[in-house]
Amino acid sequence: MKDASTAIGLDSAENEPVIELTERTSSFARTHLRVGETQLFWVGTGAVTATLAGVLGWFLTAWPPHEDEALALFIGRGSLGHVLHTVVAERGGAPLHFLLAWLIVHAGGGLIALRAVSLVFAVASVPLIALLGARLAGRNAGVVAALLASGSWVLLFHGIYGRMYSMFLFTSLLSFLGLLAALERGGTRRFALWGCALLLMLATHPYAALVVVAQGLFVLLRRRRLPAALVTLAAVAIVAAPFWWGDIVLRNRFDVGLGGGGPRLGSPRSVLHYFWWVAGDFSAGHRAWSAPVLVLALVGAVLLARRRPDSALLTACVIVVPGLAFMLATLHSTASPEARHLIFALPFFSLLLALPLVELARARPPLSSAVALVAVSVLLVGEVRWAHVKTPPLFDGNPAAQVRARHAAAAWLASTYRSNDVLLGYEPVFLEAWQQNRSFSGHALPRADPALLAATLKGVAEPLGRGVWVFDASDTTNLRERQTIPFALPAPPSAFEGRVYGPYLVIRSRRPLVTREHYLDVSARVMRLGRTLQIGDADVNLAALLGARSRL
């Protein structure tokens, strides 16, 4: 018979393979679980991405053409040097959107191609939202945040609108992911990639400066790899000098400044009201939906602060920096920010909404999981409902009769144009005329801004050709939107010709207007007629024409 110690030793030796097998099995199970979670993350993200792509593809042709889309394409008709000079030195702002429009125009594309660029950046943003959410709060929260962001009005609309906002969202996401990777792992390469992402974002929109400041504040408060981060930010500030210049030009156009006199967004109360409005456009709208959505976001913020303080700090920087900037800035009414200007904050707000729902799902499954699923579904339906309420043509398009009328008006202009015709504004009718006839006149003058109108008019060689103007009775800026407009011509009627197509009145001078001064005088006469026809933009255009007259 063996003693106790020998017996214990024997038992231990005999159990070693069992213990080793148990440890390996446990390790394998954990690895398998991680692989399963990763696969589910990408399956969920892929499903959300594919769904958004399908929805935006449906919206692509439904949304009526807009003058801001026509603006980019008409500017893109010039040479590359002309585009850069116009955007950076004359109009101000970030050039990347206009460079892409230039590429589209010179590749033979038009409005649909311009919108397709917005669609691509919007769809590509979805996996980045999920990745950012996963970094900040976990994979499940990342997928739900991507789902909620995809259903929001701000992403559905700007996902097909031929402007720069989906690109702004995409590049801001790249910069946030680059920042987190650089601070976590370090290395010259990662900091360089973060800097490149910042530069790309700054080339996309002037409000990207707010993102740079927010990230800089986070770096200072976080105090991790601070020297490398500060060197990167300093390099970006130097290399981005052309973008700062463009921002200054834009600021001067819209009377934006810091401190001093002038109207502001300005007080804490007005900034909070603006943030409340933005939160509605980021989710399910306002009024009845506001309180539950904001409470949900507040719960998400508390959970994030308790469990992931660094993530909460970055989120706070993204919110606080724009708030302080808007309280300090003096803004002309035409420069008032809207929800789209804070589109870089959409992933963070969606994450705050997602986090409590994910925690609810984990509380007492399967019942709590079912309740969380219902809550996500209700919120998503509310978001889509708000998108339809806010922008019905995004879903429904224009009435078929109006679409036919716009095509007919454009066809008349495209078939009877002269290359030196001078167009006032970037009207959708002018855009369609150019798409029907690529040699259609490119002398389009910006409206509403006297200084820019005068500068652009000086760039049109004399003698000037005929003047062309379009009144749209269905425009949303009118006091009352109508599908018909009466035929009328300015005095003397013999000096003009015109056509009515549904809500569109197209007016053209019969003879070339020759001089810039004469063009402005005749255009002012046409705008006075527009006021009698209750065209909302006529007053603004008239003021711009009179202001441009004094600047020649």
Q: Tens of pLDDT along 274-296?
A: 899 999 999 998 888 888 999 99
As a whole number of angstroms, the distance between CA 149 and CA 126 comes to: 8
- Whether 354 shows a pLDDT value over 60: the answer reads yes
Structure tokens at 539: 């007053």
H/E stretch holding 37 reads helix 4-59
- Whether 433 shows a pLDDT value over 70: the answer reads yes
Structure tokens at 455: 């500068």
Give 5's pLDDT tier (boundaries 50, 70, 90): very low
CA-CA distances (angstroms) from residue 538 to 473, 495, 530?
Answer: 11, 20, 5
Domain shared by 272 and 363, yes or no: yes
Give 15's pLDDT tier (boundaries 50, 70, 90): very low
As a whole number of angstroms, the distance between CA 156 and CA 118 comes to: 10
Q: Specify the CATH number for the domain of residue 545.
A: 3.30.190
Give 209's pLDDT tier (boundaries 50, 70, 90): very high
As a whole number of angstroms, the distance between CA 195 and CA 231 comes to: 10
Domain shared by 372 and 413, yes or no: no
- Whether 91 shows a pLDDT value over 90: the answer reads no
- Is the backbone of residue 255 left (phi > 0), alpha (psi -120 to 50) or beta? left
The residue assigned the tokens 């969202």 is 169
Domain boundary among 363, 396, 429: 396
Domain boundary among 396, 424, 452: 396
Domain shared by 413 and 544, yes or no: yes
Question: Would you say 48 and 147 are in contact if contact means Cβ atoms under 8 Å apart?
Answer: yes
Per-residue pLDDT reduced to its tens digit, 193-205: 999 999 999 999 9
The residue assigned the tokens 């005749």 is 522
What pLDDT sits at residue 16?
47
What pLDDT sits at residue 267?
72
**Burial, 207: exposed, middle or buried (Cβ in 10 Å; 0-12, 13-18, 19+)?**
buried
**25 in any annotated domain:** no
| Share above pLDDT 90 across residues of the chain, in percent, rounded to a whole number | 76
- C-alpha dihedral over 71, 73, 76, 78, to 10 degrees? -80
**42 in any annotated domain:** no
Kindly give the pairing relationship between strand 504-509 and strand 257-258: unpaired
Domain shared by 472 and 330, yes or no: no
Domain boundary among 396, 413, 428: 396
**36 in any annotated domain:** no
What pLDDT sits at residue 356?
96
**10 in any annotated domain:** no
Domain shared by 143 and 232, yes or no: yes
What pLDDT sits at residue 318?
97
What pLDDT sits at residue 335?
53
What pLDDT sits at residue 289?
84
- Whether 93 shows a pLDDT value over 90: the answer reads no
Per-residue pLDDT reduced to its tens digit, 449-492: 899 999 999 999 999 999 999 999 999 888 899 999 999 999 99
Question: Would you say 164 and 204 are in contact if contact means Cβ atoms under 8 Å apart?
Answer: yes
Per-residue pLDDT reduced to its tens digit, 356-400: 999 999 988 899 899 999 999 999 999 999 999 999 999 999 999
The HSE-up count of residue 270 (CA atoms within 13 Å, CB side) is 16
User: What is the three-class DSSP state of 160?
Assistant: coil
Domain that holds residue 542: 400-549
CA-CA distances (angstroms) from residue 443 to 78, 86, 446, 463?
Answer: 11, 14, 10, 13
**253 in any annotated domain:** yes
Residue 508 one-letter amino acid: R
**Burial, 292: exposed, middle or buried (Cβ in 10 Å; 0-12, 13-18, 19+)?**
middle
Structure tokens at 350: 């969606």
CA–centroid distance for 241 within its chain? 23
The HSE-up count of residue 94 (CA atoms within 13 Å, CB side) is 22
Domain shared by 108 and 233, yes or no: yes
What pLDDT sits at residue 30?
52
**14 in any annotated domain:** no
**373 in any annotated domain:** yes
Domain shared by 279 and 351, yes or no: yes
Kindly give the pairing relationship between strand 467-472 and strand 504-509: antiparallel
Domain shared by 410 and 359, yes or no: no
Structure tokens at 544: 């711009």
- Whether 228 shows a pLDDT value over 70: the answer reads yes
Average pLDDT, rounded, for the chain: 89
Question: Would you say 145 and 353 are in contact if contact means Cβ atoms under 8 Å apart?
Answer: yes
Domain shared by 414 and 446, yes or no: yes
Count the domains in the chain: 2
The HSE-up count of residue 293 (CA atoms within 13 Å, CB side) is 26
Question: Would you say 491 and 404 are in contact if contact means Cβ atoms under 8 Å apart?
Answer: no
Structure tokens at 29: 């199970």
Domain shared by 205 and 244, yes or no: yes
Domain shared by 357 and 448, yes or no: no
Domain shared by 406 and 292, yes or no: no
Give 28's pLDDT tier (boundaries 50, 70, 90): very low
C-alpha radius of gyration, the chain, whole number:
28
**31 in any annotated domain:** no
As a whole number of angstroms, the distance between CA 79 and CA 121 comes to: 25
Instruction: Give the residue-averaged pLDDT of 516-534.
Output: 96
